[in-house]
Structure 1
Amino acid sequence: MSERWARAVLSTYSFAGTLAYPVIGTYVAWRSHKGKEDPARRRERYGRAGFARPEGPLIWLHAASVGETLAVGPLIECILDYGINIVLTTGTVTSAKVAEERFGQRIIHQYVPLDLKPAVSRFLDHWQPDLAIIAESEIWPMTIMELGKRRVPQVLVNGRLSDRSFQSWKKRAFLAEALFENLAHVVAQSELDGERFAALGARPVTVSGNLKVDTPPPPADERELYMLQRQIGWRPTWAAVSTHEGEETIAAEVHMRVRGRHPGLLTIIVPRHPERATALVEEFGAQGLNVARRSTGDRITADTDILLGDTIGEMGLYLRLTEIAFVGRSLVGEGGQNPLEPAMLQTAVLAGRNVQNFRDSYQRLIDRGGAKLVRDGDMLAGAVNFLLLNEVVRRKMIAAGMVAVEDMRGALAITLKALDPFIQPLIVKSRLKGVQ
């Protein structure tokens, strides 16, 4: 009964998508107007290819946004070393830019097709992938079902299921099983993630750890870093990064409470969504705070209170300007953001308690002493003040975070081992074609 019900639901989903397809252009146009789509490449969202398919084996690798794209970077490099073609799809303009900067012409980048049957079918008809690798938690029913119908192996890597997603899938266990049975292998980030995928019907499941640990820390332009360091000079600093709405206000309040004990304090605020920067400048200005806005090249002067990091792709720069970093979406909102980059770049990590999406990473950092969770803005102010005052404690946290990161390495090797049965035949196929 549940199997028939799952088929009925998926058939309805497919039918509804087909009906919506002719009018979905309005939605894509709206996203384009908001800067969330590349107007010149909107056709790709309908599965229309921007390039010819290269000859030989081809792997379709999907990474939703910037974080996932960076995480699978080393994996892509390994596959390219095997001589296999890759078409990488992402869903955001910023991730497309990251892919271009990182891989250039060595891969083919396309925007991921909408999860509607006409778009997915057109995409698969053109690219005819030999293997599909999906990063983290991108579960798109129509895409999974269409790949399954074509008998294309699908492997989920760096897989994770948040508390909310797991509970949602549990309520629809019949549907989860019908989808996850199409996955040839799930490589999960943590034991908990692995148990959750298995409970929803995925087989087999391997636990690798987080691929993001095996990526290099985000880079920084050396000239820009030197220039900002000279402008900051001797001043004490701390940063609030990947913040969500409301957390910037908390960070500004922390600054005003702590600066009396730390003359010259500079607070670095890096919002997760830089498009909110203008509103934040107005908010901080109303509080009497002087703001240097990175995107407009404002100089950091002696009376600058806040450096507003409203640019994309410069997290490595901002984190190299401080030794204390609060990681957002943890006091306001839920789920948290990835703490590994701050730990890699030698900062003492602070966060709120709502870090469910990165539970394993935070737990390992906390167990080693490299991170501390705070209850609210008051506790955050106390923690920032304490770490600014106590260099020895701050250095111990930084060292502990580095040890924790080192302990977590190895996910790439485990992932490659899980992928080996699917990739080896493609390597042989590629070499045979080269001999012909």
Structure 2
Amino acid sequence: MSRVSTKAMLWAYRFGVGALTPAASALLHWRRSRGKEDPTRLGERRGHAGRARPEGPLAWLHGASVGETLAILPLVERLTRRGIAVLVTSGTRTSAQVIARRLPPGAIHQYVPLDVPIYVRRFLDHWRPDIALFAESEIWPNFIVALERRNIPLVLVNARLSERSFRRWSKVPDAAETLLSRFACCLAQTPADAERLQRLGAPRVSVAGNLKFDAPPPPADPRTVASLQALTAGRPVWLAASTHPGEEEIAIAVHRALAKRFAGLITIVAPRHPQRGAEIAAIARESGLRPARRSEGLQPDRATDLYIADTIGEMGLLYRLAPLVFVGGSLVPHGGQNPIEPAKLGVAVLHGPHVHNFTDVYAALDNAGGARPVADARALAGALSELLADAGTVRTMGRRGTEAVERLGGALERTVRAIDPFLVGLVRGEG
């Protein structure tokens, strides 16, 4: 593809998206009807600001969803301590609810607008960021072009590019290079990510590591932790965290098999999408189990077999309640969910074979003995049967997992050093 045709393709994208603005508005209303958008803040998705712009220098940090926004929290805190106001954007209701509880003073949250020219222009006209930092693999053509035109430096932090995404971008190499070349620098999580970005034409790439290793463990109210620990005292407990459709049925089948050996066993299921709580409860009842849903204000009493934690922002509580966790998205071909948070809290980790979203993290945990792979439902039941009867091994796994993720820290310092040249003028008031 020639440079001319690349420009034509990008122009066609920008023109086409602009022409489809009415369709974008209809899409937002459809998403709102499905509970995927916050009806009170829908204007933010069209670029209408929900807050006033703070005075002085402003850094804009963007993460797509919960994992990305939580990973950049330490960076947000560093910037606010330097006197730079921070705008954090994300695109999901869950991320907004979680991040609202954890943003430091000097930082505010907004929903990111759709990548529609008029929305982008409206957003940038109001916020006027002095620097933009996008997390992981957020590459939006209209935003990238608009930031360059306004001479706003754009940095890709905690950059990740999977082999699948690399193959997709490789089909349009000139387009990839045209967009990536507009980033002031790209700070990759791993050498493999860095190599893929460089092969696509990113000109200034370095390996900074994964910011998720430097993020603090999820918090929890000590009183709530103590209360739930008292309710489950003396009972074997395990957690199926961030589960996807198909994995709840596995957790229920495993519970039924293990309950014959472990009297009073309680299985906690925290679905990746909490709105599926009612569906999971129905599956449990059909299987002869007695479920209780946390979203309904219920507690795990002696009659509860399956405790469904269908709430938002409580993973810190759950990881402190169960010493042993199966991390979901890994027994179905999703690619796995992030195991760093339970490892930081000393929880022993089990996972399935589908972990390509976090290949290096799981490899480090497995090699250190902090995590253990299981091939299928039968292997999960076998591993749980062994570990529920061996508290010493569970504690050892938890300790080794914590040590493994601590050894992999340092990305925050490397990231701060890399972006510091862009921040010096802002701190001095020159931005």
Deviation at 1:364, TM superposition (A): 0.8
Residue deviations 1:172-229, cap 9 Å, x none?
A: 2121111100111111111111111111111211212211111111111222211111
Please say if 1:7 is aligned against 2:1.
no
> In structure 2, the residue corresponding to 1:240 is in which secondary structure?
strand
2:404 is the alignment partner of 1:423 = no
1:115 aligns with 2:115: yes
Q: 2:288 is matched with which residue?
A: 288
Where do 4+ consecutive residues of structure 1 move more than 4 Å? none
CA contact (8 A) 1:163 1:356 kept: no
Runs of 5+ in structure 2 lacking a partner?
none
Whether contact under 8 Å (2:134, 2:155) holds in the other structure is yes
Identity of aligned residues (%): 50
Task: Provide the C-alpha distance between the structure 2 equivalents of 1:86 and 1:302, rounded to a whole number of angstroms.
Answer: 47
Deviations 1:321-355 (A, max 9, x none): 11111101111132110000111111111111110
Please state if 1:45 is matched with 2:41: no
Q: Helix, strand or coil for the counterpart of 2:22?
A: helix
Q: Per-residue CA shift, 1:227-255, capped at 9, x if unaligned? A: 11111110011111000000000011111
Asked if 2 retains the 8 angstrom alpha-carbon contact of 1:343 and 1:402, the reply is: yes
Aligned residues of 1:163 and 1:357 also touching (Cα < 8 A): no
Q: What pairs up with 1:245-260 in 2 under 5 angstroms?
A: 245-260=245-260
1:104 is displaced (CA, Å) by 6.4
The Cα offsets for residues 298-322 of structure 1, whole Å up to 9 and x where unpaired, read as 2322232111110000001111111
Aligned pair 1:372/2:361, yes or no? no
Find the residue that maps to 2:144 and give its secondary structure: helix
Stretch moving more, 66-75 or 247-256: 66-75
Partner of 2:298: 298
Question: 2 CA distance for matches of 1:267 and 1:244?
Answer: 16
Matches within 5 A, 1:384-403: 384-403=384-403
**CA RMSD, 1 decimal:** 1.5
List per-residue Cα deviations over 1:57-104 (Å, max 9, x = no partner).
221111122222211111111101111122221111222223322236
> Which amino acid is 2:329 matched to?
R
Aligned residue runs from structure 1 range 101-250, under 5 A: 101-103=101-103, 106-250=106-250
Q: How much has 1:421 moved relative to structure 2?
A: 1.0
Report the residue type matching 1:8 in the other structure. A
Match of 2:277 in 1: 277
Residue identity matched to 1:53: R
Structure 1 residues 333-348: aligned runs within 5 Å = 333-348=333-348
1:252 is paired with a residue whose SS is helix
> Do the aligned partners of residues 247 and 134 (structure 1) sit closer, same or farther apart at CA in structure 2, a change above 3 Å counting?
same
Task: Give 1:23 deviation, angstroms.
Answer: 3.1
Q: Deviations over 1:366-412 (max 9, x none)?
A: 11111111111111111111111222322221111011011011110
Q: CA deviation at 1:108?
A: 3.0
Q: Are the equivalent residues in 2 in contact too, given 1:69–1:98 (CA < 8 A)?
A: no
Gaps (5+ residues) in structure 1?
none
Task: Provide, for residues 103-123 of structure 1, a one-character-per-residue CA deviation record: whole Å limited to 9, x for no partner.
Answer: 366223221111011111121
**Alpha-carbon offset, residue 51 of structure 1:** 3.0
Asked whether 1:18 is paired with 2:18, we answer: yes
Equivalence for 1:99: 99
CA offset at residue 27 of structure 1? Answer: 0.9
Q: Which amino acid aligns with 1:295?
A: S
Q: TM-score, normalised by structure 1?
A: 0.96
Q: Could you list the per-position Cα deviations for residues 239-292 of structure 1 after superposition, in whole angstroms to 9, with x for gaps in the alignment?
A: 110000000000111111112121111111110011111111111001110112
How many pairs were matched up? 431
User: Aligned in 2, Cα 1:30/1:105: closer, same or farther, shift over 3 Å?
Assistant: farther
Q: 3-state DSSP class of the match of 1:270?
A: strand
Judge conservation of contact 1:46–1:119 (CA < 8 Å) in 2. Answer: yes
Cα distance in structure 2, aligned partners of 1:22 and 1:105? 37
Matches within 5 A, 1:284-363: 284-363=284-363
Structure 2 CA distance, aligned partners of 1:66 and 1:80? 20
> Contact 1:244–1:333 (CA<8 Å) still a contact in 2?
no
8 Å CA contact retained: 1:319, 1:347: yes
Q: Name the residue aligned to 1:32.
A: 32
Indicate conservation of the 8 Å contact 1:266/1:306, yes or no.
yes
- CA contact under 8 A between 2:80 and 2:105: conserved in structure 1? no
3-state DSSP class of the match of 2:102?
Answer: helix
C-alpha contact 2:97 2:312 (8 A) present in aligned 1: no
Q: Distance in 1 between matches of 2:304 and 2:204?
A: 55
CA distance in 2, matches of 1:373, 1:50: 45
